[in-house]
């Protein structure tokens, strides 16, 4: 874990880490906003999948 934390501060990885907000995090934000996945009405994996 500490090695992964150190990598994000290295210049060659900093650019990749900054792009994360535009790519990966955007997918989750779209799912929450456009597909009503912000809240689950039920608990448990099986019930949420319904």
Please report, for the chain, the start and end positions of each structural domain, with discontinuous segments joined by +: 2-49
pLDDT for res 38: 81
pLDDT for res 9: 82
Report how far residue 15's alpha carbon sits from residue 17's, in angstroms, rounded to the nearest whole number.
Answer: 5
pLDDT (tens digit, 9 = 90+) per residue, 1-50?
888 788 878 888 888 888 887 888 888 888 888 887 788 778 888 887 77
pLDDT for res 8: 77
pLDDT for res 23: 83
Report how far residue 36's alpha carbon sits from residue 48's, in angstroms, rounded to the nearest whole number.
Answer: 12
Nearest CA to 6 out of 19, 14, 25, 24 is that of 14
pLDDT for res 13: 83
């Amino acid at each position: 874990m500490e090695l992964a934390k150190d990598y994000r501060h290295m210049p060659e990885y900093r650019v990749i880490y900054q792009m994360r907000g535009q790519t990966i995090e955007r997918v989750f934000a779209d799912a929450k906003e456009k597909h009503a996945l912000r809240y689950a009405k039920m608990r448990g994996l099986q019930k949420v999948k319904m």
